[in-house]
Amino acid sequence: MKKGFKMNTYKFIRRIKMDELKYTICFIKRGDEILLLNREKSSWMGSWNGVGGKFQKGETPSDCILREVYEETSIKLNDVQFKGVVTWNVDGSRNGGMYLFMQEVPHDFDYKVPIKMREGILDWKKVEWIMHPENTGVAHNLPKYLPKMLSEDGIFQYHCIFKDDVLLEVKIRELNSEYKEGYTC
């Protein structure tokens, strides 16, 4: 069974279709902090993660994330930086994915937290806290892709493999020009 599990995962990675991703996520960075949301709803209920959500009909990925950031934080961003995609395979059969964005704000950007919003509680968290190996309060895959997303200019796919709600591995690959050109704002 494990061999078939790996094979299905490989096939999905090779066949990613950017227009089939249904979600977006954004990380707003201020110095050495990132604005995270402790979600009150699934997925990742009770875990700190970026802000984002599902597409509405006719939206581009950028339209979607700019709307979601505003709805979830009341922060009006003018643009965001496309950083790639996070995809997943759960129990060898369910696949999904989301567009990944980041936006840096000035060190003196004034946003008072913690603040309770409709989706959960927002707070600035230090990158060091997010990445701490004993931190079980963040989305399990976040520490696996956040460092590369923050430190490199490339556009990457972070493919997460879950089995029985446990993150087994994250495969990272740079997206080639075919995928970069396939992304439109």
pTM of the model: 0.86
One-letter amino acid for residue 44 of the chain: W
- Supply the pLDDT for residue 44: 78
Cite the beta strand spans of the chain per DSSP E: 23-30, 33-39, 48-49, 51-54, 81-90, 94-105, 115-117, 120-126, 156-163, 166-174
Section 166-181 average pLDDT: 78
Q: What is the pLDDT, as a whole number, of residue 43?
A: 78
- Please identify which residue in the block is written with the tokens 């600035």: 124
* Residue with tokens 């439109």, as numbered in its chain: 184
Token pair of 163 as six digits: 């089995």
Question: What does the pLDDT look like over 79-98, one tens digit per residue?
Answer: 999 999 999 999 988 788 99
Q: Nearest Cα to 157, choosing from 92, 97, 103?
A: 97
Query: For residue 1, with 0-12 CB atoms within 10 Å meaning exposed, 13-18 middle and 19 or more buried, which class applies?
Result: exposed
How far apart (Å, rounded) are the C-alpha atoms in residues 124 and 32?
9
pLDDT digits (tens, 9 = 90+) for 24-70: 999 999 999 999 999 998 777 899 999 999 999 999 999 999 999 99
